[in-house]
């Protein structure tokens, strides 16, 4: 039996546009010390992009070559990351709202998710959004699954900021995300409690 939030409280809250921070006791190696930007959190489920799992291969130019997108080499390079274990052959560009196309999803007015070839073409040509990252795959949760994991003390959440989303200092993102909440990782407990 899963724990249900009190009526009218968590059922109306959305974490869309926030970051999830894995608790230190996260046993799933795919999410250990991960920081995830939540692109959607609804009663139907949740979807997010892991921000601190950079990919060494392929490089952006190699990916463009595979997709036959010109110019190659591109006028601009962007970083690639493992966005999560779901659909990891599919690319998602998380970016600033200064570039949009018909298929773009406005996440929270400050961040956009686009999964079309148009954005890759624009970036290759030196344009596109000012800030962006390309994620292969995503993290996904079914209806109520993320809420249950939060109640089980697997995740913390915090407001997102562009430094955590877009900078390349991957090693410290988890610690910096916790610092946003003024939390020292050594002081965290894996036990969930109720008042």
pLDDT tens digits along 106-154: 999 999 999 999 999 999 999 999 999 999 999 999 999 999 999 999 9
Residue 5: the pLDDT is: 42
| Residue 54: inside a domain | yes
Q: Where are the alpha helices (DSSP H) in the chain?
A: 60-67, 117-124, 145-151, 162-166, 173-180
Least confident piece of the model among 92-101, 165-174, 180-189:
180-189
Name 186's Cβ contacts closer than 8 Å, sequence gap at least 6: none
Name 129's Cβ contacts closer than 8 Å, sequence gap at least 6: 93, 95, 96, 97, 98, 99, 112, 119, 123
Residue 75 and residue 124 in contact, taking contact as beta carbons nearer than 8 Å: yes
Q: Quote the domain boundaries for residue 56.
A: 10-187
Q: Angle, nearest 10°, between helix axes 117-124 and 60-67? A: 120
| Residue 144: inside a domain | yes
Average per-residue pLDDT in the chain? 90
| Residue 192: inside a domain | no
Residue (of 181, 144, 187) closest to 3 by Cα position = 144
Least confident piece of the model among 42-56, 67-81, 179-193:
179-193
| Residue 87: inside a domain | yes
Indicate the pLDDT class of residue 190, thresholds 50, 70 and 90: low
Residue 183: the pLDDT is: 87
**Strand 80-82 with 86-95, pairing:** unpaired
Residue 15: which CATH number? 3.40.1740.10
Mean pLDDT (whole number) for 51-67: 94
CA–CA gap between residue 124 and residue 73 (Å, rounded): 8
Does the pLDDT value for residue 8 go beyond 60? no
Does the pLDDT value for residue 189 go beyond 90? no
Name 86's Cβ contacts closer than 8 Å, sequence gap at least 6: 137, 138, 139, 140
Residue 195: the pLDDT is: 46
CA atoms within 13 A on the CB side of 185: 16
Does the pLDDT value for residue 30 go beyond 80? yes
Does the pLDDT value for residue 177 go beyond 50? yes
Q: How many domains does the chain have?
A: 1
Please work out, in degrees rounded to the nearest 5, the angle formed at the alpha carbon of residue 124 by the alpha carbons of 38 and 121. Answer: 70
User: Both tokens of residue 178?
Assistant: 């916790």
| Residue 119: inside a domain | yes
Mean pLDDT (whole number) for 37-55: 97
Does the pLDDT value for residue 9 go beyond 60? no
Does the pLDDT value for residue 98 go beyond 80? yes
| Residue 72: inside a domain | yes
Residue 121 and residue 139 in contact, taking contact as beta carbons nearer than 8 Å: no
| Residue 193: inside a domain | no
| Residue 49: inside a domain | yes
């Amino acid at each position: 039996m899963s724990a249900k939030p009190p009526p009218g409280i968590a059922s109306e809250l959305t974490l869309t546009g926030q970051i999830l921070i894995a608790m230190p006791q996260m046993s799933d190696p795919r999410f250990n010390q991960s920081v995830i930007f939540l692109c959607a959190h609804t009663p139907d489920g949740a979807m997010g992009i892991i921000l601190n799992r950079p990919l060494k291969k392929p490089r952006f130019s190699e990916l463009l070559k595979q997709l036959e997108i010109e110019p190659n080499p591109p006028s601009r390079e962007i970083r690639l990351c493992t966005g999560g274990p779901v659909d990891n052959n599919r690319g998602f560009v998380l970016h600033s709202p200064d570039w949009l196309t018909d298929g773009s999803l406005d996440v929270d007015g400050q961040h956009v998710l686009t999964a079309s070839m148009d954005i890759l073409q624009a970036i290759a040509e030196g344009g596109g959004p000012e800030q962006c990252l390309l994620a292969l795959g995503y993290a996904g949760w079914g209806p109520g699954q993320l809420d249950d994991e939060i109640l089980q003390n697997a995740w913390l959440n915090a407001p997102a900021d562009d430094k955590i989303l877009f900078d390349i200092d991957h090693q410290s993102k988890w610690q910096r995300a916790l610092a946003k909440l003024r939390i020292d990782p050594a002081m965290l407990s894996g036990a969930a409690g109720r008042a």
